[in-house]
Structure 1
Amino acid sequence: MSVGNAVNATIQGARFPGRYLQGAGSLARLGEEAALFGQRVLLIVDRGIYARYVERIRAACQNLDHIALEQHGGDCTEAEIARLRQIARDADVDVVVGLGGGKTLDTAKAVAWHQSCASIIVPTIAASDAPCSALAVIYNPDGSVAYDLFLPRNPDLVLVDTALIAQAPPRFLVAGMGDALATFYEAEACRLSHAKNPFGVHGLPVAWALARQCRDTLFEFGAAALEQCRQQQAGEALERIVEANILLSGLGFESGGVAAAHAIHHGLCELHATHDYLHGEKVALGVLAELRLQQAPEAVWQQVFDFCQRVGLPTSLAQLGITDPDEAQLRQIAERACRQGEIIYNEPFPISVERVVAVLDTLR
Structure 2
Amino acid sequence: MRKALILPTKYVQGEDELLNLGYFVSTFGKSALLIASQEDVERVRPQLEATAEKFDVSFIEGGFNGEVTREETKRLQAVATEKQTDCIIGLGGGKAIDASKVVAEGEHLIIVPTIAAQDAPTSHSAVLYHEDGSFDDYAYFKQSPSVVLVDTKVIAKAPTRFLVAGMGDALSTYFEARATHHSYSRVNASLPMGTREGVTPPAVGTYAALALAKLCWDHLREDGLRAKIACDANVVTEALNKIVETNILLSGLGFESGGLAAAHAIHNGMTALHGAHSYLHGEKVAFATIAQLVLENADQSELEEVLDFCYSVNLPITLAELGVENITFEEAMEVAKIACIPEESIHSMPFPIIVEDVANAIIVADKIGQEYHSKH
TM-score of the aligned structures, taking structure 2 as reference length: 0.90
Counterpart residue identity of residue 279, structure 1: H
Alpha-carbon offset, residue 45 of structure 1? 1.5
Summarize the alignment of residues 46-57 of structure 1 with structure 2, pairs less than 5 Å apart.
46-57=37-48
Structure 2 counterpart SS, 1:146:
strand
Partners of 1:171 and 1:131 in 2: how far apart? 18
Are 1:17 and 1:132, in contact at CA under 8 Å, matched by a contact in 2? yes
Deviation at 1:88, TM superposition (A): 1.7
1:139 equivalent among 119, 129, 133: 129
- Cα separation, partners in 2 of 1:40 and 1:240, compared to 1, 3 Å: same
Counterpart mapping for 1:14-25 below 5 A: 14-25=5-16
Q: Choose from 52, 60, 67 the match for 2:51.
A: 60
Deviation at 1:77, TM superposition (A): 2.7
Q: 1:206-262: per-residue Cα shift (whole Å, max 9, x none)?
A: 111111111100100000000000111110000000010011111111111111111
Match of 1:109?
101
Question: What is aligned with 2:82?
Answer: 90
Structure 2 SS opposite 1:362: helix
Deviation at 1:329, TM superposition (A): 2.8
Matches within 5 A, 1:1-364: 10-62=1-53, 63-64=55-56, 66-113=58-105, 117-199=107-189, 200-364=202-366
Contact 2:118-2:165 within 8 A present in 1 as well: yes
TM-score normalised by length of structure 1:
0.93
Contact 1:190 / 1:256 at 8 angstroms: preserved in 2? yes
Residue of structure 1 equivalent to 2:371: none
State the distance in 2 between where 1:27 and 1:81 align. Answer: 25
User: What's the offset of the Cα at 1:173?
Assistant: 0.4
Task: Give the distance between the partners of 1:193 and 1:145, measured in 2 at CA.
Answer: 28
CA distance, structure 2, for counterparts of residue 234 and residue 255 of structure 1:
29
Contact 2:107/2:146 (8 A) holds in 1: no
- Structure 2: runs of 5 or more not aligned: 190-201, 367-376
CA contact (8 A) 1:136 1:149 kept: yes
Do the aligned partners of residues 47 and 303 (structure 1) sit closer, same or farther apart at CA in structure 2, a change above 3 Å counting?
Answer: farther
* Cα-to-partner distance string for 1:123-179 (whole Å, 9 max, x where unaligned): 111101111111212233343433332222100000000000000000000000000
Letter in 2 for 1:245: N
Give how far 1:66 is off.
Answer: 4.3
Separation of aligned partners in 1, 2:354 and 2:135: 21
Question: Matches of 1:83 and 1:322 in 2, distance apart?
Answer: 38
Contact 1:22 1:162 in 2 (8 A): yes
Q: C-alpha separation between the residues in 2 aligned to 1:328 and 1:86?
A: 47
For residue 276 of structure 2, what is the amino acid of its counterpart? T
Q: In structure 2, what is the equivalent of residue 7 of structure 1?
A: none
Asked if the contact 1:273–1:321 (Cα under 8 Å) also holds between the matched residues in 2, the reply is: yes
Work out the CA distance in 1 between the residues paired with 2:298 and 2:146: 38
Shift of 1:65: 5.0
Tell me which moved more, 325-334 or 190-199: 325-334
Q: Is the 8 A contact 2:33 2:87 kept in 1?
A: yes
Give the whole-Å Cα distance in 1 for the aligned partners of 2:172 and 2:30: 39
Amino acid at match of 2:221: F
Distance 1:141 1:106 in 2: 15
Quote the RMSD (CA, aligned, Å): 1.6
- The answer to whether the 8 Å contact 2:185/2:204 transfers is yes
C-alpha distance in 1, partners of 2:184/2:39? Answer: 41
The offset of 1:67, in angstroms, is 2.7
In structure 2, C-alpha distance between the alignment counterparts of 1:60 and 1:270, rounded to whole Å? 45
User: Cα–Cα, structure 1 residues 233 and 65, in superposed 2: closer, same or farther, change >3 Å?
Assistant: closer
Task: Tell me the secondary structure at the aligned position of residue 103 of structure 2.
Answer: helix
- Percent identity between matched residues is 43
SS at match of 2:85: coil
Counterpart-to-counterpart distance in 1, 2:264 and 2:357 = 16
Q: Structure 2: which amino acid aligns with 1:76?
A: V
Deviations 1:7-27 (A, max 9, x none): xxx111211100000000000
Q: 1:208 to 1:149 in 2, by over 3 A?
A: same
Distance in 2 of aligned mates of 1:203 and 1:265: 22
